[in-house]
């Protein structure tokens, strides 16, 4: 068993409020992965809040049945399914997350990068994730997405731990993988750490 050190500080109007905590954990897992570039384009047809047609640059590499995310300036949809591809036109449906932006919005499409990270959600005591570019990550069990969270480029990491007093975001779930979607046309480095107790 080890201890995790957690610190937090905010400075507002010249006043700094900070705190530290030490959390016991039996196990720790971590992963750092390179996330490939996203592909720039536009939402040329908006069929619904979850489906539409993208027009993207050539050489995108998408094929029917691929998984796809769509990031715009104000939204991030993920887990969509490519229904068909014709040259630089991608028809997709069943996107989850935020509703799609308005038609003709500039977007960045991305395929997921899967990260092999496993732990008991119920036994989780701390979780943190960060990325060098805007991204969205999911934590998933064998059949469903249990947590979907956007992180900003080199911004504050997503963080949860038992000292916060908030509900465990993946309690009751056996996490078997993470998927990461790049919301940028620049390759990114994504890092995740998790600590959990023995079941």
Provide the pLDDT for residue 3.
83
Split the chain (199 residues) into runs of 10 and give each run's mean pLDDT.
81 92 92 96 98 95 97 96 97 97 98 94 95 96 93 88 92 94 97 91
> For 118-137, what is each residue's pLDDT tens digit?
999 999 999 999 999 999 99
SS3 130: strand
pTM summary value: 0.91
Tokens 């028809």 identify what position? 91
CB 90 within 8 A of CB 56: yes
Helix then strand count (H, E) for the chain reads 0, 19
How many other CB atoms are there within 10 angstroms of residue 165's CB atom?
6
Q: How far apart are CA 161 and CA 40, in angstroms?
A: 36
Residue 91's nearest CA partner among 144, 41, 36, 143 is 41
């Amino acid at each position: 068993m080890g201890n995790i050190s957690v610190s937090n500080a905010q400075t507002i109007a010249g006043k700094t409020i900070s705190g530290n905590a030490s959390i016991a954990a039996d196990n720790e897992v971590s992963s750092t992965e390179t996330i490939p570039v996203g592909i720039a384009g536009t939402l040329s047809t908006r069929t619904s809040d979850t489906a539409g047609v993208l027009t993207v640059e050539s050489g995108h590499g998408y094929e029917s049945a691929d998984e796809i995310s769509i990031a715009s300036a104000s939204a991030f949809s993920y887990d969509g399914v490519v229904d068909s591809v014709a040259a630089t036109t991608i028809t997709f449906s069943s996107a989850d997350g935020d509703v799609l932006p308005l038609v003709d919005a500039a977007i960045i499409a991305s395929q997921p990068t899967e990260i092999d990270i496993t732990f008991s959600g119920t036994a989780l005591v701390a979780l943190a994730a960060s990325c060098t570019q805007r991204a969205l990550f999911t934590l998933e069990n064998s059949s469903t997405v249990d947590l979907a969270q956007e992180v900003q480029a080199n911004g504050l990491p997503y963080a949860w731990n038992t000292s916060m007093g908030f509900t465990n975001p993946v309690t009751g779930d056996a996490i078997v993988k993470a998927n990461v979607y790049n919301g940028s046309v620049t390759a990114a480095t994504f890092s995740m750490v998790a600590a959990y107790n023995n079941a």
